Amino acid sequence: MQLTPTIAIHMSAALSALALGPVVLWARLGATIRPRWHRALGYAWTTCMVAAAISALFIRSFDLPNVWGYTPIHLLVVLTAFSLFKAFMALARRDFAEHQRYMQRLYVGACGVAGAFTLLPGRYLGNLVWGDWLGWL
């Protein structure tokens, strides 16, 4: 696999979401709540997550166990869409606690867990990061 425009878009969106997530959460913590920052950066984070999810649909691999090129990690696209839908439905109901739970879980699952999977040896980004250093595994 090589760096294609689709992979570049996906990585840019995912890395932006990874960086924005803690700032969005910070804007709602502590004695000073910053709702304008939280809302503006939250929309930016959501846009990055949607871009990462949609671009992931165009990244397919026939090397791993797959169905039409979609591997098990593509299930995170469904999880992302479901979590974003539920989080915004909670906002529509003004259930801020549920909104917070869905968004925090989405951040940990999509940015943390999926990010860790991309860094595994044998995957494209894992090979770029680790190179031959982990070749002995």
Task: List the domain boundaries for the chain.
Answer: 5-60+69-134
Residues 25-51 have a mean pLDDT of 87
pLDDT of 21 reads: 93
8 A C-beta contact, residue 85 and residue 103: no
Of 61-65, 113-117, 130-134, the one with minimum mean pLDDT is 130-134
Query: Who's near 38: CB < 8 A, 6+ residues apart?
Result: 24, 27, 28
In the predicted model, what is the mean pLDDT of the chain?
Answer: 87
Query: Who's near 54: CB < 8 A, 6+ residues apart?
Result: 77
The residue ranking higher by pLDDT, 110 or 61, is 110
pLDDT of 134 reads: 59
The residue ranking higher by pLDDT, 122 or 90, is 90
